[in-house]
Chain A
Amino acid sequence: MEHQGWSFEENYSLSTNRRSIRPQDELVELLWRDGQVVLQSQTHREQTQTQKQDHHEEALRSSTFLEDQETVSWIQYPPDEDPFEPDDFSSHFFSTMDPLQRPTSETVKPKSSPEPPQVMVKPKACPDPPPQVMPPPKFRLTNSSSGIRETEMEQYSVTTVGPSHCGSNPSQNDLDVSMSHDRSKNIEEKLNPNASSSSGGSSGCSFGKDIKEMASGRCITTDRKRKRINHTDESVSLSDAIGNKSNQRSGSNRRSRAAEVHNLSERRRRDRINERMKALQELIPHCSKTDKASILDEAIDYLKSLQLQLQVMWMGSGMAAAAASAPMMFPGVQPQQFIRQIQSPVQLPRFPVMDQSAIQNNPGLVCQNPVQNQIISDRFARYIGGFPHMQAATQMQPMEMLRFSSPAGQQSQQPSSVPTKTTDGSRLDH
């Protein structure tokens, strides 16, 4: 069967080539000849036996006949039932046996053709397993991911539980750990509210007591007066505890909260005091000590020295102002009167000195010498307004440092004013 098919295909290719070469007249002859051949089939067989050339002609004719029948069968009778009908038809038209044998070969060929589609159906079944296989691994992956998440949650819970246990013990001894303890309480509340409530209450009691003791000690160190206030606070806390004995949980929570607030307020106060102490240390020159007592001592000494310098400067400024104002007020007076008037300003600075020493305030100068004070205030305002004067003031600071360091400088200030008077006297005498 298969062999016949292959041969047929080869013949088909050859026949197509020949037809393209031959004209239409040959086709007509072939048809006519076919009719003759059909009618004279026995004669052709006898001739073939006798001659070799007839064999080639018979082969060609047989190929053409097969082709025509195949086309007819495909178009008119594709199913299996057809071979019976064409047989009857051929019997009516053709009396010979040869056409009966040939259609049988034709029927076999169409059977082979449907086989490839059946083969195609099989590979269709092949792709079915891959889609079936895909969903199971997806589900497995999801399961594995959920498992991983569960393990992560377990690890998180374990880590949270650990620091709470570790932090609870040292918190009783040190306040620094209290922060971690508070954090651990929060974590416990988030995870297990029931367990956290009981543990939080018990730990809160001990923690509150420790905090109160520490707070009381620190307050005592700062001031004695505040000790009384602390005692009153303690009595109040004790009364609260007695009243709340029935509700230990609520009482313990309140105590812990109050203790925390108190600790925070005290910490803030200490921080402020420390900051102010540092500021004072920076202001005071040549102060390298860190103790509170030493810093306070140096601050007190520095304040006293500054006050003394101010007094000396006010005295000097008063004398200078008086001396300067005298010639301005009396420019055109005779020499004798000028000398007398010079003596009078010598007496003037004594009065402000006495006032300063007695009251140690400025109003004395204002009462006796309003004009001079006004002049000084006006000039002072001008200097403050001017920018370059500020620079001069900044430059003067190192001089202040030198004077503070050397007490001799202060003494030199006083004699410096005296020689000016002597010079004035000598010039006037000349």
Chain B
Amino acid sequence: MEKTLATSHTKRSSPPSPSSAVNTSSTGFNRRTRQRLSDATASVSETDVEDEDEDEEGVEEKIEALQTIVPGGTELGVDALFEETASYILALQCQINAIKVLTTFLERCEKKDMKFGG
């Protein structure tokens, strides 16, 4: 992922430089919006750019899924969300272990009670 991120950075760094150098901020902003519209219409097709966009969209979708699963995840950022997921996983594991122990103990109690009752 680091290598792919580096390549994406290098590729993206080249387009904005001429716009900033040639024109002012307002015109640059307009051109950027136009470029996005063109991408949305799919008039300009670039496989590399599409692949990168798909990867990023996948990651974002997965982050949203985690936010829905983890309690209180929608209001958190990426860092906090990862922390909450880790702590939530640990809590669930502890609960499962505790319930297993309780079930085994209760089953033994039932057996003893039946013996005395019978």
Asked if A196 is at the interface (CB within 8 A of a chain B CB), the reply is no
A383-B85 contact in complex given A209-B17, A320-B110, C-beta closer than 8 Å: no
| B8, B17, B83, B97: residue with the most chain A Cβ atoms closer than 10 Å | B97
A274-286, CB under 8 A of B: which get 1 and which 0?
Answer: 0011011001100
Q: Give B68's nearest chain A residue, CB to CB.
A: A300
**Chain A interface, >50% SS class:** helix
Contact of A397 among B13, B62, B97, B106 (CB under 8 A): B97
B89:A302 contact, CB within 8 angstroms: yes
A303:B92 contact, CB within 8 angstroms: yes
Asked if A310 is at the interface (CB within 8 A of a chain B CB), the reply is yes
Asked if A313 is at the interface (CB within 8 A of a chain B CB), the reply is yes
Q: Which residues of B lie under 8 Å from residue A223 when comparing CB positions?
A: 60, 78
A206-221, CB under 8 A of B: which get 1 and which 0?
Answer: 0001100110111011
Interface of chain A residues 339 through 397 with chain B (CB within 8 A): 376, 379-380, 383-384, 389, 392-393, 396-397
Q: Which residues of B lie under 8 Å from residue A272 when comparing CB positions?
A: 79
A210 to B86, CA, bound (A): 36
B110:A324 contact, CB within 8 angstroms: yes
A300:B66 contact, CB within 8 angstroms: yes
Asked if A427 is at the interface (CB within 8 A of a chain B CB), the reply is yes
B17-48, CB under 8 A of A: which get 1 and which 0?
Answer: 10010001100010000000000000000000
Asked if A269 is at the interface (CB within 8 A of a chain B CB), the reply is yes
Q: Which residues of B lie under 8 Å from residue A384 when comparing CB positions?
A: 98
A293:B55 contact, CB within 8 angstroms: yes
A327:B117 contact, CB within 8 angstroms: yes
A300:B113 contact, CB within 8 angstroms: no
A229 to B79, CA, bound (A): 18
A238 to B83, CA, bound (A): 36
A197 to B17, CA, bound (A): 26
Asked if A317 is at the interface (CB within 8 A of a chain B CB), the reply is yes
Asked if A245 is at the interface (CB within 8 A of a chain B CB), the reply is no
A-B pair count, CB < 8 Å, reads 151
B81-118, CB under 8 A of A: which get 1 and which 0?
Answer: 01101101110111111111111011101100110011
Q: Which residues of A lie under 8 Å from residue B8 when comparing CB positions?
A: 217, 221
A309 to B94, CA, bound (A): 12
Contact of A314 among B82, B93, B94, B99 (CB under 8 A): B99
A221-B100 contact in complex given A234-B25, A279-B86, C-beta closer than 8 Å: no
Asked if A183 is at the interface (CB within 8 A of a chain B CB), the reply is no
A396:B82 contact, CB within 8 angstroms: no
Contact of A376 among B88, B94, B102 (CB under 8 A): B102
Contact of A273 among B16, B82, B88, B94 (CB under 8 A): B82
Closest-CB distance, B118 to chain A (whole angstroms): 6
Asked if A231 is at the interface (CB within 8 A of a chain B CB), the reply is yes
B16:A280 contact, CB within 8 angstroms: no
Q: Give B62's nearest chain A residue, CB to CB.
A: A296
B9:A218 contact, CB within 8 angstroms: yes
Q: Which residues of A lie under 8 Å from residue B97 when comparing CB positions?
A: 393, 396-397, 400
A331 to B7, CA, bound (A): 76
A297:B17 contact, CB within 8 angstroms: no
Asked if A408 is at the interface (CB within 8 A of a chain B CB), the reply is no
Asked if A316 is at the interface (CB within 8 A of a chain B CB), the reply is yes
A280-B86 contact in complex given A306-B93, A310-B99, A313-B100, C-beta closer than 8 Å: yes
A280:B117 contact, CB within 8 angstroms: no
Q: Which residues of A lie under 8 Å from residue B99 when comparing CB positions?
A: 310, 313-314, 316-317
A210 to B113, CA, bound (A): 77
Asked if A399 is at the interface (CB within 8 A of a chain B CB), the reply is yes
Q: Which residues of B lie under 8 Å from residue A221 when comparing CB positions?
A: 5, 8-9, 56
B85:A303 contact, CB within 8 angstroms: yes
A146 to B16, CA, bound (A): 56
9 tightest A-B CB contacts, nearest first: A276-B82, A296-B62, A313-B99, A306-B92, A217-B12, A213-B13, A217-B9, A238-B25, A320-B106
17 CB-based A-B contacts, threshold 8 Å:
A217-B8, A217-B13, A222-B78, A283-B86, A290-B1, A293-B55, A297-B62, A299-B89, A313-B95, A313-B100, A314-B99, A321-B106, A328-B113, A331-B117, A383-B98, A397-B97, A427-B114
